[in-house]
Amino acid sequence: IRESLQVVRSRDPRIHRMPFLDASHKLSGKKEGGGGSDYHALGAMEVICSSMAKTLQTALHPPDWLQGNYMAVRYEDLVVEPIKTLRQVYGFVNLAVSPEMEKFALNMTSGPGYSSKPFVVSARNATQALSAWRTALSYQQIKQVEEYCQQPMALLGYEKVSSPEDVKDLSRTLLRKPRL
């Protein structure tokens, strides 16, 4: 709650919306407790996504001083194509990627590490984290995130889910090319 409150306190009072989920909904999925923590988590999500939307809009329509000086990198791109993405990032800052760095990137994103808990993954199995939200969150929770984060999600190329079955179909990617 403390961390969410810190984020919520930075909120622009003009952007506050009431959560569209019913009052009994708990983000944590627990039947008891939660209460204010869910409200604060929703507020924090609203602030974070609003801030991200502003940042991405600036990147889409950069002022002169920012043109050519900004690169957006999605976590998923780094995990799915670590060498290609690493080379793009290094190239952006005019550096060459060493073979050791490429090996490190591969190890950190697709090595043999494993954790059975969603979002608690070792540094060597980042591919598991890509879809962890699809098994850990309810459809209702996902729709809540999509509501608050629709603009940054659209700019970054994240598709919305259309049904609970859509969420669970891990063979279907929910990524498309970002607009940045």
Given a cut of 70, is residue 80 above it in pLDDT?
yes
Asked if the structure places residue 79 within a domain, the reply is: yes
% the chain with pLDDT above 90: 43
pLDDT band at 15 (very low <50, low <70, confident <90, very high): low
Q: Kindly report the CA angle at 160 between 30 and 82, in degrees rounded to 5?
A: 95
| Ranges assigned E (strand) in 52-103 | none
Alpha carbon distances (Å) from 21 to 42, 59, 138? 10, 32, 13
pLDDT over 80 (residue 14): no
Question: How far apart (Å, rounded) are the C-alpha atoms in residues 76 and 126?
Answer: 9
Tokens of 31: 């039947």
Contact assessment for residue 71 and residue 92, using Cβ atoms and an 8 Å cutoff: yes
Of 20-24, 55-59, 139-143, least confident by mean pLDDT is 20-24
**How far apart, in whole angstroms, are the C-alpha atoms of residue 98 and residue 160?**
37
Cα dihedral across residues 153, 155, 159, 161: positive or negative:
positive
- Contact in structure between 149 and 56 (CB atoms under 8 Å): no
Do 2 and 45 have their domain in common?
Answer: yes
Token output for 48 = 């974070």
Q: Among 20-34, 40-54, 111-125, 130-144, which is the least confidently predicted range? A: 20-34
Give the pLDDT band of residue 98 (cuts 50, 70, 90).
very high
**How many angstroms separate the CA atoms of 4 and 23, rounded?**
18
* Total count of domains within the chain: 2
29 occurs within a structural domain: no
Lowest mean pLDDT among 17-21, 44-48, 159-163: 17-21
| Residue 16 forms part of a structural domain | no
One domain for residues 59 and 1: yes
Same domain, 142 and 104: no
Please check whether residue 28 lies inside any domain of the structure. Answer: no
State the DSSP string of 60-71. HS--GGGTTS--
Whether residues 155 and 128 fall in one domain: no
Interatomic CA distance for residues 8 and 45, integer angstroms: 9
Task: Tell me which of 130 and 158 has the higher pLDDT.
Answer: 158
pLDDT of 30 reads 46
pTM: predicted TM-score of the whole model, two decimal places: 0.71
Domain membership of residue 21 (yes or no) is no
- Indicate the burial class of 82 (C-beta count within 10 angstroms; 0-12, 13-18, 19 or more): buried
Nearest to 141 by CA among 118, 172, 109: 118
58 and 2, same structural domain?
A: yes
Residue-wise pLDDT for 139-175, tens only, equals: 998 998 999 899 999 999 999 999 999 999 988 889 9
Q: What integer is the mean pLDDT of 8-25? A: 54
| Mean pLDDT, rounded, for 87-104 | 95
Q: Per the domain annotation, does 2 fall within a domain?
A: yes
Quote the CA–CA distance of 80 and 84 in Å, as a whole number. 9
Pick the residue with more confidence: 146 or 115? 146
Same-domain check for residues 93 and 59: no
Residue 158, in any domain of the structure: yes
pLDDT attached to residue 143: 93
Residue 18 has pLDDT above 50, yes or no: no
Mean pLDDT (the chain) is 80
Residues 129, 174, single domain; the answer is no
Q: Domain limits at 90?
A: 71-136
